[in-house]
Amino acid sequence: MPAVGVMTERFVSAAELMSRVLGMPGYAFAVIAHPVSSATDAELAERARQTVEQARRLWASPPGG
């Protein structure tokens, strides 16, 4: 089953560091606005839509591309 990692903007640098440390430099993931915990239903729906769009692009791209 295809999957994609999702990270909020605030933690992108930490996610990039972890991907390098774990031997997967350049690992691509979807990035959404921060924070999530206090977002309204409408904001969460928009972030979900953005995640789906990014996931489709990531799945269609070759690794590292």
**What is the mean pLDDT of each successive set of 10 residues along the chain, which is 65 residues long?**
93 97 95 97 98 95 69
Question: Is the pTM value of this prediction over 0.95?
Answer: no
Q: Give me the pLDDT at residue 61, please.
A: 86
Peptide bond into 35 cis (omega under 30): yes
Domain span holding position 43: 6-60
Whether 1 is in a domain gets the answer no
Which are the contacts of 31, defined by CB distance < 8 A and separation ≥ 6? 6, 7, 8, 9, 12, 54
Whether 26 is in a domain gets the answer yes
Whether 65 is in a domain gets the answer no
Q: Give me the pLDDT at residue 64, please.
A: 61
Number of domains in the chain: 1
3-state secondary structure of 30: strand
Q: Give me the pLDDT at residue 2, please.
A: 84
